Chains A and B, each alone.
Chain A
Amino acid sequence: MLDLLKTLCYLSGASGNEDEVRDYILERVLPLSDGILTDSIGNLIVTKKGRVSGGKKVLICGHMDEVGIIITGIDDDGYLRFDFLGGVDRRVVIGKPIYIGKDRIRGVIGIKPYHLVGKDEEKKVPDREDMYIDIGVRSKNEAKELVSLGDAGVFDDSVLEFGEGFLKAKAIDDRVGCAAMIQLMEEELPCDCTFAFTAQEEVGTRGAQIVASRVKPDIAIILEGTTAADLPEVPEGKRICSLGGGIVIPFMDKGAIYSRKLYKTVTELADKNGMKWQTKTYISGGTDGRVIQRGGNGAETIAISAPIRNIHSPASLAKISDFEDMPRLALLLLEAIADNQ
């Protein structure tokens, strides 16, 4: 799963621009699937038959998109103006490279020299409207040859293993979910399943909204990446979850109270099978589960997540031992669901 995740993190897929990720996943899952479709918003919906058919309709869901930027303007001297796609803390883009559009045009978000920064000024983060991207051109015309308004950009794509089993990459949220889903599809499944690789989660779970309407699941399993705030300066009560603490199984986040029944089942399965797990100790974040749970007639919903430090940044960090059991735990849950029918 690690190699697969690394490959997926490298791909560009800012919200609304998931093509590269979708194309890769499509090719990868085609031989494993019994039915495949891409819908109007760009979700990739794949079905795979299991040993048993006709039971409850199970949906497994993870999003393909990542946070990024979108080009909104070009200055006369060739600097690009931008807005964020998804929730990006503007603090993390200062002095960072950005790769724009299909041709991966390299730009950097600069900031004036520290020597010219006043004492009060250094305490304030520049507004997004005042930030700009430098692609090394001299004029608007030169810039226009390389970049168009509406082009999306992503963070640096280098992927690195370091420390004691840590991984650094952009877009671990939620390529970790996509990787777990692909790996799960490679297994023999106990029941029929629909896998939705969704678009536009980061701009408000837009893709999942219409997946729910199309698939109408009874049970939904969301595979996600979630904020870990286990840092020295964060008070104990706000750390949410930690790297090295194992798979995250939340009972609740800002978007949903998860199915108590499924929560009990999954946590017991993890215990029984010797898998390290933790829950979220602070209510924050949200997943596609918020719309899938309440789409149509509703679905019993649970999330299985990987803890990620610096989520939504170019240098998000995950611990490999925290996520490599995600597909196995999801499979155990499917077995339990199938056994219960």
Chain B
Amino acid sequence: MLLKDTIINLCGLAAPSGFEERAFARIKELVLPYVDELRTDAMGNLIAVKLCGRDGAKKLMFDAHMDEIGMIITGYEKGFLRFSNLGGIDPRMLPAREIKILTDPPIFGVIDMMPPHALTEEEMDKSIDAKKLFIDVGLSETEAIKRVPLGTAAVFAGGVEELSLGTLCGKSLDDRACAAIIIQVMERLSKKEPKVDICCLFSTQEELGTRGAVTGAYGVNPDYAVAVDVTFASTPDTKKGETMELRQGAAIGVGPNMNRKITNTLIDIAKEYKIPYQLEVMGGNTGTDGWVIQISREGVSTGLVSLPIRYMHSPVETLDLSDAEAVVNLLTEFAMKLGEDADNA
């Protein structure tokens, strides 16, 4: 499957933090042909392993999280649904927002806007407190209670579409675009002979604070890991220096969260294979699964490769396929390179 199609396919699924089953099932199906083992754990992570068949082979782990930001239903107000966030959502994104509520089958809802006449002059300039917003499912209270049990999850409606040639736009590129990238890497590696075992950790609940990766990394117990996540691409409303650029290639993380040798290897590979890259320097927490993977068990040599996207955590996240291709190339060559090191050891 083409990378573009895999991204569109995976991002069309509804799988907010703690409710990743739909993404789990599809990713499992897609990665299955390229791996030797598949397993899960108590946190619902999906772990896929490709063995190289060498005795005492080192273990490299690629990580991307399956979950997306979403909402969870916490109560009713005359048929309107009260909700809480799953992950960080800008409240300014919510008015007149279309929502998919994950009942079986899913139902449609809209977060109603506060009409202007009900706001004071001062409030008109302000965002509406999410506590004042409700999901409208067009149901009476009795029906709403019957059809939407408390604890039901929800996501932004819609999927991913091409915005222009090579540019994809929609929900949950964070981080399913990177799950698609890892699947693509495994497909490439299936035609090669890497000299390390490669484990893919498709983790859960990253958006609630990298929770799945804690047990995932523990279970995999890798020697090396590369977390693959999205990062901020500049837009007119961001400041210089706080973002990467779209269409400038893979962002290689630099900083204390990343093992210096891994980082340098990634940079060397990018140079050697002329893979477009940019450096993303972070002084502390990278806000990715890499943060917990690095200090799993007795420690993991961890790297971070990020895909720049615009409008992160919105239903219109935007990526360029040239960047995604760069990440695929970089990770594939990195896996092969680690094999070489194994030979020398």
Contacts and interface: CB of A to CB of B under 8 A. Distances in A.
Interface string A106-141: 111111111111000011111000101011111000
B138 A163 contact: yes
Given A113-B232, A134-B163, A229-B117, A309 B237 contact: no
A108 B80 CA distance: 28
Nearest to B144: A163
B173 to A, nearest CB: 12
Given A125-B92, A168-B108, A114 B127 contact: no
A151 interface: no
Given A124-B127, A134-B318, A282-B117, A114 B90 contact: yes
Contacts of B344: none
A190 B97 CA distance: 44
Contacts of A112: 232, 235, 237-238, 311
Interface SS of A by simple majority? loop
Interface string B307-345: 000111111101000000000000000000000000000
A5 to B, nearest CB: 16
Contacts of B311: 95, 108, 110-113, 134
Contacts of B91: 122
Contacts of A309: 112, 136
Contact of A164 (B139, B161, B169): B139
A335 interface: no
A136 B117 contact: no
Interface of B: 77-78, 80, 88-93, 95-98, 107-110, 112-118, 125-128, 132-134, 136-140, 143, 161, 163-164, 167, 169, 232, 235-239, 242-243, 247, 287, 310-316, 318
A75 interface: yes
A91 B136 contact: no
Contact of B313 (A115, A126, A137, A284): A115
Interface string A292-327: 000000000000000001110111010100000000
B235 A134 contact: yes
Contacts of A166: 138
A67 B132 CA distance: 25
B164 A96 contact: no
B115 A229 contact: yes
A78 to B, nearest CB: 10
Contact of A310 (B112, B163, B239): B112
A1 B311 CA distance: 39
